Amino acid sequence: MTDTARHLAQLRKSYERAELSETHSHADPLKQFELWLEEAIRAEVPEPNAMTLATVGADLRPSTRVVLIKGYDARGIVWYTNYLSRKGQELAGNPYAALQFHWVELERVVRIEGVVEKVSAEESDAYFHSRPLDSRIGAWASPQSEVIPDRSVLVTAAARYGAKFLLNPPRPPHWGGYRLKPDQWQFWQGRKSRLHDRLRYRLANGAWVRERLAP
């Protein structure tokens, strides 16, 4: 065993920042999420909008990647990406996915599961045109998830599309938003002695059922 491996086995952290109880949490998981997200933003944790997206392909192999939340409401959680990417292809074949936020500094995790659908073309257009010009060109230039020989492919493509579209690139037909419609949420708050607080909200007959899980 290497020194690094031995060191990993000895790493310990005592979670003592906060608690999460049934009486002091919202009955609506979206409101509880909004509260924690606002606290993460106010605390200036690094990239509070970053979330891990997990999908499963036709070969039943799961895959994860980090994406950025760009909106949320009663309909669900929204992010934007290339529809032809690996995640896009996997969602086309299996629309069920999971999201996870990990706000390390606050000792909190939020997990969200549900079915995914594309947002409307109008929503995708509006968000695309709000992005910086370089990002809009990048959406055209990158054949996301495909094998490329080197970085020059991207640089050359960006220059080509920049010259073609100038200041007004349209939204690529292969790029747009997804919305995960939650049917289950979990909120995890680290606690001392590994007796963490863990609340699950699950949708049953159109209503949210809140219950505590063992950590």
Active-site residues, by number, are 194
The neighbour count for residue 108, using CB atoms within 10 Å, is 22
CA angle 25, 65, 27 (to 5 degrees): 15
Nearest residue to 13 (alpha-carbon basis) of 213, 197, 194: 194
Which helix or strand (DSSP H or E) is residue 76 part of? strand 76-82
Nearest in space to 209 (alpha carbons), one of 185, 179, 181, 193: 185
